Amino acid sequence: MIGLLGCSTSSPVSTTTADVLLSEVPVSESPASTGDRSLDNHRTNESLSSPPPSSSRAQSLPITAQTTLNNIVIDLEVATTPSQQAIGLMYRPSLSDNHGMLFPFSPARPVNFWMRNVEINLDMVFIYGGEVIAIASQVPPCRTEVCPTYGPPGIPVDFVLELRGGRAGELGIELGDSVPITFLE
């Protein structure tokens, strides 16, 4: 069984072009459309019945890691618990340029993320062994009951880095790039 974050392993569905540089990261159906209920849900099924987005519902985690990408230091909130990962960047009205959220997975496993209750476009950088293996760029918020999911199918990752939409391109992040992560605590 593949552990997934707010997604399913069903066949891809088409989406509109949102400059999603998927680096061959496919789009799949959300759990709401398939009934898949993984224990590792990033954006869980329960969020489908949640109230409308509100910045007061956003979580704010302490900065506990950093990465340096093309000489730019990015401060990282680290979502380590299932609850923190389930909320992720939901309800955030903005995300500054040099700020992101890191999702660690140990052991490494295939994951997919969705954008239910996320208010801003995000870039998702999928990392394995310290290197970028896929990028989903300018992923738009999902405001429908069925949301696409993003992630490299069947390929394990040990980290997913979420940045403001378009930031990965601005930083020149490409497949195969090294992503050094320094934990501060």
pLDDT tens readout for residues 24-44: 444 444 443 333 323 333 443
Please state, rounded to an integer, the average pLDDT across all residues of the chain.
Answer: 78
Query: Tell me, what's the pLDDT at 55?
Result: 59
- For 79-106, how does the pLDDT look when each residue is reduced to its tens digit (9 = 90+)? 999 999 999 999 999 999 999 999 999 9
Helix (H) or strand (E) holding 94: none
Higher per-residue confidence, 41 vs 73: 73
For 87, other C-beta atoms within 10 Å of its C-beta total 22
% of the chain at pLDDT higher than 70: 70
pTM: 0.75
Query: Tell me, what's the pLDDT at 21?
Result: 39
Query: Tell me, what's the pLDDT at 130?
Result: 97
Tell me the HSE value of 88 on the side-chain side, using a 13 A CA sphere.
29
Q: How far apart are CA 161 and CA 94, in angstroms?
A: 16
Return the beta strands (E) in 90-176 as ranges: 99-109, 113-114, 122-128, 131-139, 149-150, 157-164
Query: Tell me, what's the pLDDT at 17?
Result: 27
Query: Tell me, what's the pLDDT at 58?
Result: 87
Higher per-residue confidence, 58 vs 32: 58
- For 133-169, how does the pLDDT look when each residue is reduced to its tens digit (9 = 90+)? 999 999 999 999 899 999 999 999 999 999 999 999 9
Report the SS3 class of residue 163.
strand
Question: Can you read off the two tokens belonging to residue 59?
Answer: 């979580």
Residue ranges of alpha helices (H) inside 110-170 are 167-170
Q: Which fold has domain 57-183?
A: Jelly Rolls (2.60.120)
* Annotated domain spans of the chain: 57-183
